[in-house]
Amino acid sequence: MVVLWAGLCPGLTEEMIQLLRGNGIRTVVDFVSSNLEDVSQKCSLSYKALVAVRRVLLAQFSAFPANGADLYEELKSSTAILPTGSPSLDQLLDSGLYTGEVTELMGAPGSGKTQVCLGIAASVSLGLKQHVVFLDSTGGFTASRLYQMLRAQTEDEEEQASFAGAGPYALQRIQVVRVFDIYEVLSALQELRDHLSQQVMSSTGPLKIVVIDSVSAVIYPLMGGRQSEGLAIMMQFSRELKSLAREFSLAVVVTNQVTRDSSTGPLKPALGRSWSFVPSTRVLLESKEATWGRGPMQRVASLAKSPRQPTGLQVELDIG
Amino acid sequence: MQREVGSLPLAPALRARLAAAGFQTAQELLETGPCGLSKELGISKEEALEALQVVRQECHGDTARTARGSGATRKFTALELLEEEQAQGFIITFCSALDNMLGGGVQLTKITEICGAPGVGKTQLCMQLAVDVQIPECFGGVAGEAVFIDTEGSFMVDRVVDIAAACVQHCQLIAEAQREEDHLKALETFSVESILSHIYYFRCRDYVELLAQVYLLPEFLSEHSKVRLVVIDGIAFPFRHDFEDLSLRTRLLNGLAQQLIITANDHKSAVVLTNQMTTRIGQSQSTLVPALGESWGHAATVRLIFHWDNSQRLATLYKSPSQKEATIPYDITPRGFRDVQPPAVAPSADGTERNPRKRPRREEEKQ
């Protein structure tokens, strides 16, 4: 719903706009959907000029249909699959995190969401030598634990001797942004978008993954009560995430909480039905234990939603 | 800036009007100017001017934020954060098992939550931490001050005096054993009076006062920049009675949690909260779980649950970003929060059955 203003396209002058406004045509949609003969009669503007303007506006603002085969070729060349650092989780996700999609990890407090995110960051930074952007909204990012994970991963690959050189570089490739408010998250994403669109041609610093821990912490303070602004902001945020993932071929990983309907109901993901359409893959992390301090902790990841695998798959997770 | 209008922090009514008028990006708003904006939307010029100021601030966000100096949204690399963490101190609890379990003590810049049944020792630990945060750096402390926000009225000053006296005595013993210059100099200023004078005590009687106090904390902390610990004793109490609208409670609690995280991060202080326990009645059994619901569990970074095992107090680390889950025993002695002494020490003098839940006040134990 873009407002018509002078300079939007060549041929659209200020006086044309005033005449159009006088007849109730204010936005691009109004202009394009109106009958141009009537408009030219009422506003006494030349029909040819109006048709030319409409052509330019349509070219600027409409979406072009793409051929399925072209789309497939494009996806084949631009999609990458990123390993998560944990072979069982990779198996659950059909070999890893797909770029261009939003993946969600949900779980109760203490189930290991932040640990899995740290593992993903470590694996991408060390294994693929690519940059990672980590948006931390809960204060749970602990660099010493990340360092521990990096060391554990190099021991697996038997590169202990070269770790002293590679370790600091791996840490430098992970950029952490502390955002505690939904508006701060949105400006951080906007900055990221500006940064990426300027960098399209350069080859330094390939960014393939953005981790946001956690989205529910920043959206919950706006939800509830009797106001709907929380829902509006959440939808704005989800649109931003999905367009970032698609346009720049990023894998976006978010973490979410779980709530219950009543004190005895089953666990369900937080943020409601509207958010459930945003991620394409959802993984539920649970830790099965009897009471605190007794019995071994067993962490289980189950697939709750996936475009490629059957749901209900379960694997055991090992958080190093 | 191609920032969308929907993502700017404006009032919902204003945002709705902007959407109806067809504005999409922040750039269009800035180009229209305040007069044009007030004409288009039908709002007064002052409101249009205010809205444009907000937009300008958001769009030139980087320069505005560094000018403010708080750096809440500064970007770091993981390497810088690692160096920062390694240089940070911990607040010790004088119970070495608990300190080891936590990875050194209560961490700064994180929220630690202590849940437990009544009488298990949550307030005792809070008072111990309020004293321990003031230990001078040469003795291994962080040399900070403490803010104690009390909602239940369980802060007993004479108990703090006992704990502080024991702490000063402990430091004096270390100084005598090691005989170093800076130890003796630090001891001159470290006394019971100075400890008590650096604990700032606030009493909040209902949730409105608590919320107001937490939102006013940043100003207080910028005036008292040496504060390294904020204790809120009893965060569950004001929210558990008298609340009809549960979704409002969740909203307020989550806003509170985010505000506490911002405070802990900006002022490099530790935030310690105590929570109550509630019963979850399941199919065949009932369990004790921390109060305030599922969503509150995500607010704290580190969660400790204190519970009883016959007459032994145990602490379990339930949630931590860097330590494994573990359970350790601890004890509450006349000198404060301590490790469990091995059973070779003489047992209690009289043989009468004591209620293990509360230490009885006996005359011969007081100094």
For A62-98, what is each residue's pLDDT tens digit?
888 889 998 888 888 888 888 888 888 888 888 889 9
* Residue A7 in domain: no
The average pLDDT across A163-169 equals 65
What is the nearest CA distance from B321 to chain A, expressed in angstroms? 6
Smallest CA-to-CA distance from B230 within B145, B357, B153, B301 is with: B145
* Residue A213 in domain: yes
User: Which of A61, A96, A116 represents a domain boundary (last residue)?
Assistant: A61
CA B332-B335-B336 angle, 5° bins: 45
**Same domain for A32 and A181?**
no
Smallest CA-to-CA distance from A309 within A269, A274, A282, A276 is with: A282
Nearest neighbour of A143 by CB, restricted to B81, B251, B281:
B81
- Cα–Cα distance between A29 and B28 in angstroms, integer? 17
CB contact under 8 A, B22 and A27: yes
Judge whether B272 and B149 are in contact, CB under 8 Å: no
**Same domain for A259 and A115?**
yes
Place of tokens 């649970």: A286
* Residue A115 in domain: yes
Q: Indicate the pairing of strand A251-256 with strand A207-213.
A: parallel
CB contact under 8 A, B81 and A293: no
- B267-302 confidence digits (pLDDT tens): 889 999 999 998 887 777 788 888 888 788 888 889
**Same domain for A55 and A79?**
no
Query: CB atoms < 10 A from the CB of B77, how many?
Result: 17
Kindly list the distances between the CA atom of residue B222 and the CA atoms of A54, A205, B65, B108, B263, in Å, as whole numbers in the listed order: 58, 38, 17, 17, 10
CB contact under 8 A, A27 and B1: no
Give the CATH number of the domain where residue A297 resides.
Answer: 3.40.50.300
Number of independent structural domains in chain A:
2
**Same domain for A150 and A246?**
yes
For residue A269, the enclosing domain spans 74-317
ipTM: 0.78
Residue type, B14: L
Task: Give chain A's mean pLDDT.
Answer: 82
pLDDT given for residue A163 in this prediction = 56
Instruction: Name all domains of chain B by residue range, CATH numbers in brackets.
Output: 5-61 (1.10.150), 79-339 (3.40.50.300)
* Residue A173 in domain: yes
Is A99 within 8 Å of chain B by CB? no
- B148-165 confidence digits (pLDDT tens): 999 988 889 999 999 999
* Residue A172 in domain: yes
Which helix (H) or strand (E) covers residue A55, if one does? helix A47-61
Chain A stretch 193-252, residues whose beta carbon is closer than 8 A to a beta carbon of chain B: 194, 214, 216-218, 220-225, 227-229, 232-233, 236-237, 240
**Same domain for A169 and A194?**
yes
The span from the first CA to the last CA of chain B, in angstroms, equals 68
* B254's tokens: 């989550």
* Residue A117 in domain: yes
**Same domain for A167 and A303?**
yes
**Same domain for A81 and A42?**
no
**Same domain for A248 and A287?**
yes
**Same domain for A146 and A273?**
yes
* Residue A66 in domain: no
CB contact under 8 A, A224 and B7: no
Q: What are phi and psi of B335, to 5 degrees?
A: -90, 0
**Same domain for A165 and A25?**
no
**Same domain for A78 and A47?**
no
* Residue A122 in domain: yes
**Same domain for A35 and A101?**
no
> Which range in A169-183, A192-206, A289-303 is most confidently predicted, on average pLDDT?
A169-183
